[in-house]
Amino acid sequence: MTMESEELRSQILKMVREYSRRSHRSNRAGDDPQKGEFIPGKTPVPYAGRVFSEDEVEAAVGSVLDFWLTLGVQGETFERSLAEFLGVRNSLLVNSGSSANLLAVSALTSPKLPSERRLMPGDEVITVAAGFPTTVAPILQCGAIPVFIDADPVTGNAKCEQLQDAYQKGKTKAVMMAHALGNPFDLRTTLEFCMEHQLWLIEDNCDALGCRYILSCDSAAMDIYAKEPRDSSGSMNKFTGSWGDLSTQSFYPPHHLTMGEGGAVNVVRQSSLKVIVESFRDWGRDCWCPSGKDNTCNKRFGWQLGELPHGYDHKYIYSHLGYNLKPLDIQAAIGLKQLAKLPGFIEARKRNWELLRRGLAELEDVLEFSLPTHATGWDPSNGFTWDSSGCRTECSWFGFKISIRPNASFSRTQLAKHLDDHLIGNRMLFGGNLLRQPAFSQIRKESPERMRIVSDLAGADRIMNDTLFVGTFPGLTDEMIEYMVSTLVAFCRN
């Protein structure tokens, strides 16, 4: 690049930063003094959204000026940085969290895995009935059978005590569940169950980046992590997404960090899974050369696989029926700036949840609030109380979950409409009971053998009928949270 080009680039990026400072004030973090003015009843209060500054805009434009476009240096750096943050062996960028889930399940179907552990058509994967559909859809799309256990209306997570009821020897091969709304599911019970039966565990961590789970020292699952560090009590404190065999992330705008679209598959311990996931992501090919490189293995013309002739170009050998699910390097450039801000984003989510919980404490007679897994209660003086398991959770809340108690004089829908009328964003807990969704109910009618249900799913129905959530994302200001609290209190007391 010539000096003239470097100077021109510098001028462009300087102007880009100035433009962003003037144009994107509403997208700044809630504690940023340059944040746009909030006018109660006139300024929308989103349930989630993009939180960024001129840093991300400059990074995106700078990447466009380089015009590499396809996944490259920015992507490699982001993958390495995310893996280091989570404490996993590898992270592989993809174009969405839903694609990440598809790849994680697809990887378990690979003929490169031991036959007794390979997920084959008709094998079963245990999952939870309440949540987002693309946690479950890949199980069906890969020809396996989802086995549904119920959800706990208080935590939003699976009732993991039902895992043993769902197990079928010789049929069950994996467990795949999401950490609901930034609340880790009961990893102790799940890990011990998977260890007992030699099952794969996929953590859908799309709504839970930055959550932690503290596994007590007396758990049998500790044997899996014998070489990993423990605290002074012998317990282990790790991020969700670093406990199972594979985990997934979403970087869609409502999530803990954003690239616009985007996601990742995390390979927690077993390095051989990285090659398999990468193959399914990259057309199903065997070659692991990065984009723009041709002979990483120094054996490009030295392979013989399948029924191909010896020396067939390794860049065009395919061992899986794969996809092309990579994002752009531009997205990774944005993601790197977001990743640097992630610790602050996590703390803001925790703080915003706490402000809402304290502000709404007087409504406990008509509203039921979420509790972290293993918590037994909450009070404004002492915070959470915990069960006797010795396990704890630290939530990086995706949202503030509210359920309407049976004695309330209003319904969830009435409350949701009232919040809408006052420009306060709110959402259902995604698909509610997924078995009631048109796509799943149609499958049950036409091919009931394609799924199995363990319980009456009363908890998932309760979530479907009575639950919504409002925002905790780091773009919220104290004034926005005060407005949310006053609006909810006024409605419930009227």
- CA-wise closest residue to 256 among 187, 160, 324, 352: 352
| Encoded tokens for 391 | 């396990």
Q: Is-contact 334 260, C-beta < 8 A?
A: yes
Cα 37 from chain centroid? 31
To 5 degrees, how large is the angle CA 439–CA 441–CA 447?
A: 95
* Ramachandran class of 457: left when φ > 0, alpha when ψ lies in -120 to 50, beta otherwise: left
Catalytic hit among 24, 197, 255, 310: 255
Residues present in the chain in total: 494
- Rounded to whole angstroms, the Cα distance separating 109 from 409 reads 50
Q: Is-contact 92 99, C-beta < 8 A?
A: no
- Rounded to whole angstroms, the Cα distance separating 275 from 229 reads 27
Q: Is-contact 230 202, C-beta < 8 A?
A: no
| Residue 255: active-site member | yes
- CA-wise closest residue to 282 among 326, 249, 248: 326
- Rounded to whole angstroms, the Cα distance separating 359 from 303 reads 65
Q: Is-contact 82 259, C-beta < 8 A?
A: no
**C-alpha torsion sign, points 161, 162, 168, 170:** negative
Residue 166 carries which side chain, given as an amino acid letter? A
Active-site residue numbers? 255
